[in-house]
Amino acid sequence: MREVNNTSNSKNINFQGIQARKEAQPAPAMETREITDLGRMPAEVIGRSQVTKSSLEKDIAFLSNNIEKVEKLDKYCDQLMENGYSYEQACALTGVAAEEFYGM
């Protein structure tokens, strides 16, 4: 702060000790890879593991063969949400109940 004299007058500013700003250097270029095989992308693999053909077919088969049981599970899910559980929690508990009581 030697450039600024301790006075309230702006005419007493000394610019002789200040060096000019150097030009900013661009960041070095990074090498990028393009993923052409979509089967190796992590997001695609996670999505594929969440919805598999076998589990989807199993759920549809259970639904079509056990309409009354599915209606009871749906009512149970609604009751859980009415009692303060979030939608995600109620669905998780309903899934556990379906596995426990109906062997789904």
Displacement of CA 17 from its chain's centroid (Å): 51
Cα–Cα distance for residue pair 79/84, rounded to 1 Å: 9
Cα–Cα distance for residue pair 76/71, rounded to 1 Å: 9
Q: pLDDT of 4-40, one tens digit each?
A: 555 555 666 666 777 777 777 777 777 777 766 666 6
The first and second tokens of residue 80, run together, are 């859980």
- Per DSSP, what are the bridge partners of residue 23? none
Look up the pTM and report it.
0.47
Q: pLDDT of 43-88, one tens digit each?
A: 666 666 665 566 778 888 888 998 999 999 999 999 999 999 999 9
Backbone angles phi, psi at 51, to 5 degrees: -125, 100
